[in-house]
Structure 1
Amino acid sequence: MNTITNPAVPPRGRILGIGAGLTCAVIGRRLAEAGYQVDIVESRPYVAGNCYTETDTETGIMLHKHGPHIFHTDNEPVWEYVNKFADFRPYICQVKATTGGRVFSLPINLLTINQFFGKTFSPAEARAFIEARAEQSITEVKSFEDQALRFLGPELYQAFFMGYPIKQWGMHPSELPASVLKRLPVRFDYNDNYFNHRYQGIPAEGYTTMVDRILDHPLVTVTLGRKITQADCDGYDHVFCSGPIDAWFGYELGQLGYRTLDFTMSRHKGDYQGCAVMSYPDEDVPFTRITEHKHFTPWETHEDTVIFHEYSRFCGKEDIPYYPIRLVNETNMLRKYVEYAQTQENISFVGRLGSYKYMDMDVTIHEAMTAAEAFLTLRDQDAPIPAFFSSPI
């Protein structure tokens, strides 16, 4: 990353990006290419946000320090964009689950169903079998629990879905919206690819190197380990804030609900579990999953191994926010923050934390690319810059 001394062409203006994750990196790169001086300030001592990766000094294994990140998308422009900055290697995410003392394939597929019930069903037979076990009496699906019982039946619900949201979200499945379960596929074939996207992979050198390269432009400066205040924004033509919107306003209207994650890392000899991700849906198991990180780089060979036990809990003000809860209370509070933000000048709230919505990496990059182009167009038209480039509600 370069520091400006005497740029050959005077910058069109000064831009501040708060956060050195994917959102501000992509926006900052595009605006720098358009001639703006861009300062990126990050409170953590590294770039790439929650997709930060580093090489373990003892084993040489690339570690996903904030949980595994597999890049998957059907968006061809986004795929082309990330491949300009990283050598993506093909990677298929295949998740296993230990429940009731047995190991199964996830997402639930024909193998899972046959193993679980001790059958040899064809796809049509499995579909008919599951439909017969479903709770037909549920005519109005309101909750996660309703969705699971109505479309999977009590056995699969109790084995795979009842305990997990209690640990992951801190709520009983009857309190969660049905949309949470709708994101999890159920298949009546033997396809165990966790994602159904055309492009899937992991950068060979890790996400941190990719973000470093995105930020490597003569008109981009990066400052790490520094927290920005509102007073620091003076003198900038525009600010892009990718941090939590409620924190930016000092939690004036209340704290939005997030879940955070704790990780316990340990090193072992050989191969610990034989796969990258082993989920533990049973409620009496305190962690949600174990990830074994050498399996995220199958093109490498490592004698030893590194695993992470992953635990979920409510996010405090000093914790790293991972997943927005977005239940009724949170969306009502968010609506008030959005209205408040729209009264501010020269600041836009972007990314997962700025808009308080969960986004995969490809969606994050797409929204950042769209925001950068919209900003340039509006600036050329001397038009107002919005507080949000996509609706958080």
Structure 2
Amino acid sequence: MKVAIVGAGISGAVIARLLAEQGIKSVVFDKRDHIAGNCHSERDEQTQVMLHVYGPHIFHTDDQEVWEFVNQYSEFMPYTNRVKAVYNGAVYSLPVNLHTINQFFRQTLSPAEAKAFIEQLADKTITDPQNFEEQAISMIGKDLYEAFFKGYTLKQWGCHPTELPASILKRLPVRFNYNDNYFNHKYQGMPKEGYTEMVAAILNHPNITVKLSSAFEQAMASEFDHVFYSGPLDGYFNYSEGRLGYRTLDFEQFSAKGDYQGTAVMNYCEETVPWTRITEHKYFSPWESHENTVCYKEYSRLCGEEDTPYYPVRLVKEKSLLNKYLDMAQSLESITFVGRLGTYRYLDMDVTIREAIDVARHFLHCQSAGETMPVFNVDPR
């Protein structure tokens, strides 16, 4: 049996490895000249700072099996994501916590007092939030929403928060203590030598052949028993029905002596500031020491034809076009669409790995049981 895997990122690498260990050979194609997809990392030649080339990726999960899987291929170092935010000439800590609340409102509230205070600010007339803005105002009130979420969201998504679903905000915590850890997950860390080294270790198996700078065309599918496709769903069909909406990111890289901002991530919440955040990459490797520093100023915009897609928009107007492509995909045989782009869903890194593990296991089951592998292991609708 011979399998084609399109994309040498996290999804493709995990599937290739698990199949390889069961004796199935695969050819991994990637049109870029490097592995690891948007997780690709490399050292800056001048400073030796480990750069997250396509923006920071921070590993966090509650899935013990996923955590154990990645630790087989890289030594993970402890890392806690602490995000700061600039608004109206002051620096605050995110997610919104007791320190943020007290600083913003110039109070000295206890946890219980702060909770009662925010409940008073929250708009309780909104009983069934229909969009991002309503969800935010119903949770934390207008002042905190407009300070930390409205402008940032306009820049990040390129549309008004009333056009975004309420579900986006439901995973952003509000804390009534001084915990400024951005994530709540049990396992959090960074691969000591970067994600590219980790993915290289996953792909390092005699049953895996990697072809970089190699685009995969539909016509090539007949040469393989099965195809796992992690590229853009609409791209597989040559955008015949039109292009699905993705956001892309532009980075303005610059260096500085010593420290630049003293932390890894600094959000700029006001709409008048054109960038969304500045990331200082040596702080993503706090176990290392560097005299100088490298930063990325980050801008978000709609993805064009020649751009790298980062995450799907999935607004209402995309749903009908998405359904067309899903129907086209369901008519195919011997192919499975995987990953963030292949299923047109926003997936965190740990969920991407979990789904890739499940896809590989399901494929192996189908092979042994004589069953048909589905086009989508998880329904993207």
Superposition TM-score tier, normalisation by shorter sequence: over 0.9
SS in 2 for 1:271: coil
Does the alignment pair 1:150 with 2:107?
Answer: no
Measured in 2, the distance between the counterparts of 1:21 and 1:139 equals 42
1:178 to 158, 161, 166: 166
1:46 to 24, 29, 34: 34
1:220 to 208, 218, 242: 208
What are structure 2's unaligned runs of at least 5 residues?
none
Measured in 2, the distance between the counterparts of 1:265 and 1:330 equals 32
Do 2:336 and 2:376's aligned partners in 1 also have CA atoms closer than 8 Å?
yes
CA shift at 1:79, angstroms? Answer: 0.4
Q: Which moved more, 1:185-194 or 1:229-238?
A: 229-238
Tell me the alpha carbon deviations over residues 205-261 of structure 1, each in whole angstroms, 9 at most, x when there is no partner. Answer: 000000000000001000101111111222200000000010110112221111100
Measured in 2, the distance between the counterparts of 1:79 and 1:170 equals 34
1:365 to 353, 359, 365: 353
Measured in 2, the distance between the counterparts of 1:330 and 1:69 equals 26
Measured in 2, the distance between the counterparts of 1:236 and 1:77 equals 30
Matched AA of 2:322: L
2:89 alignment counterpart: 101
- Map residues 275-314 of structure 1 onto 2, 5 A cutoff: 275-314=263-302
Tell me the alpha carbon deviations over residues 258-293 of structure 1, each in whole angstroms, 9 at most, x when there is no partner. Answer: 110000100100100000000011000000000000
Does the alignment pair 1:233 with 2:226?
Answer: no
CA shift at 1:14, angstroms? Answer: 0.4
SS in 1 for 2:189: strand
Measured in 2, the distance between the counterparts of 1:134 and 1:351 equals 37
1:9 alignment counterpart: none
Measured in 2, the distance between the counterparts of 1:197 and 1:134 equals 27
Do 2:344 and 2:380's aligned partners in 1 also have CA atoms closer than 8 Å?
yes
Does the alignment pair 1:161 with 2:111?
Answer: no
1:5 alignment counterpart: none
1:87 to 57, 67, 75: 75
Measured in 2, the distance between the counterparts of 1:166 and 1:314 equals 12
Matched AA of 1:258: Y
Does the alignment pair 1:22 with 2:17?
Answer: no
CA shift at 1:172, angstroms? Answer: 0.9
CA shift at 1:332, angstroms? Answer: 2.2
CA shift at 1:136, angstroms? Answer: 2.6
Does the alignment pair 1:125 with 2:113?
Answer: yes
Measured in 2, the distance between the counterparts of 1:388 and 1:313 equals 29
Measured in 1, the distance between the counterparts of 2:313 and 2:88 equals 28
1:10 alignment counterpart: none
SS in 2 for 1:59: coil
RMSD over aligned CA atoms reads 0.8
- Map residues 133-144 of structure 1 onto 2, 5 A cutoff: 133-144=121-132
2:326 alignment counterpart: 338
Do 2:311 and 2:341's aligned partners in 1 also have CA atoms closer than 8 Å?
no
1:374 alignment counterpart: 362
1:200 alignment counterpart: 188
Measured in 1, the distance between the counterparts of 2:134 and 2:84 equals 24
CA shift at 1:139, angstroms? Answer: 3.0
Tell me the alpha carbon deviations over residues 332-382 of structure 1, each in whole angstroms, 9 at most, x when there is no partner. Answer: 222221111111111110111000001111100010000000001101111
Measured in 2, the distance between the counterparts of 1:151 and 1:346 equals 46
Matched AA of 1:153: G
Measured in 2, the distance between the counterparts of 1:121 and 1:188 equals 10
User: Identity, % of aligned pairs?
Assistant: 57
CA shift at 1:137, angstroms? Answer: 2.6
Measured in 2, the distance between the counterparts of 1:215 and 1:28 equals 7
2:380 alignment counterpart: 392
Matched AA of 2:369: Q
SS in 2 for 1:162: helix
What are structure 1's unaligned runs of at least 5 residues?
1-12
Name segments (4+ residues, structure 1) moved above 6 Å: none
CA shift at 1:138, angstroms? Answer: 2.3
2:262 alignment counterpart: 274
Matched AA of 2:126: I
Matched AA of 2:216: I
1:3 alignment counterpart: none
Measured in 2, the distance between the counterparts of 1:37 and 1:175 equals 45
CA shift at 1:329, angstroms? Answer: 1.8
SS in 2 for 1:278: strand
Matched AA of 1:256: L
1:246 alignment counterpart: 234
Matched AA of 2:185: H
Do 2:244 and 2:321's aligned partners in 1 also have CA atoms closer than 8 Å?
yes
Does the alignment pair 1:64 with 2:52?
Answer: yes
Measured in 2, the distance between the counterparts of 1:146 and 1:222 equals 47
Q: Which moved more, 1:84-93 or 1:379-388?
A: 379-388
Measured in 2, the distance between the counterparts of 1:139 and 1:30 equals 47
2:253 alignment counterpart: 265
Measured in 1, the distance between the counterparts of 2:96 and 2:212 equals 42
Measured in 2, the distance between the counterparts of 1:215 and 1:138 equals 50
